Amino acid sequence: MEEINIIKAYFKRVMIIIFSIIFYSILVILIMNKFILEKPYYKNSDFKIKNIYSKVDYNKNNIDDYSDILLGARKLVGKNIKEKELLSKSFKYAGYDIISLIGEDTSIKGINKYFAKNTYSLTNNIKVINKFNYGDIIIYDEGLGIVSDRRNKEGITFLIYIKNNIVVEEDIMPKLKILGHYRFDATLIDNLK
């Protein structure tokens, strides 16, 4: 009988130790996650930056154009497509046939020229973080991308672009040579149907 009580007492101590270890491990993980570990990304609100919404909802889906362009680009993440398709499908999600608007020269040079003439041209300085809004278009020396609503810890926006033939959303802006930063506004386009 005494042996059974000793075994029960031993088992009880072991269980208390196991549950204590589990409880304190979870507590440490939660504390690290809250205060120590870096977030995978940040939002505009983390930097007290207001979201800029387009005054246009071209496809009349109750979502502004900038948000639609971002959502269209984000739906392509992980897909194997060409840059022209990234641009056309992102804009198609907002209701626009951007390739028809641009015309025949859909090279990076031609796209850059079109956006410089027909959209809001904004700063290329990524450190001016409040001037970059999701849905903006970035033309860089090797391609193009759509500005994300995600930011790094310095507030610099992520970019949705093509890397190794796959659409990705990454913190790449500090590594790019930006040729143009544009914000599309349908009210500026004369030949919009």
pLDDT in tens, 96-132: 999 999 988 889 999 999 999 999 999 999 999 999 9
Q: What percent of the chain has pLDDT over 70?
A: 94
Together in a domain, 71 and 130 = yes
Question: In a 10 Å sphere around its CB, with 0-12 CB exposed, 13-18 middle and 19+ buried, how is residue 90 labelled?
Answer: buried
How many whole angstroms separate alpha carbon 77 and alpha carbon 73? Answer: 7
**Closest of 76, 68, 41, 50 to residue 165, by C-alpha:** 76
Residues spanned by the domain of 13: 1-37
Residue 193 belongs to a domain: no
For the chain, how many structural domains are there in total? 2
Together in a domain, 65 and 154 = yes
Together in a domain, 13 and 76 = no
How many whole angstroms separate alpha carbon 169 and alpha carbon 159? Answer: 5
Token digits of residue 176: 């790019």
DSSP letter for 50, please.
Answer: P
Q: How much of the chain is in helix, strand and coil states, percent to nearest 5?
A: 45, 20, 40
Token digits of residue 126: 């990524």
Together in a domain, 56 and 25 = no
Taking only the tens place, the pLDDT of each residue in 37-75 is 667 899 999 999 999 999 999 999 999 999 999 999 999
Mean pLDDT of the chain: 91
Together in a domain, 137 and 49 = yes
Together in a domain, 86 and 125 = yes
3-state secondary structure of 143: strand
Specify the higher pLDDT residue, 84 or 28: 84
Token digits of residue 138: 């970035």
Together in a domain, 12 and 28 = yes
- Stated pTM of the model: 0.80
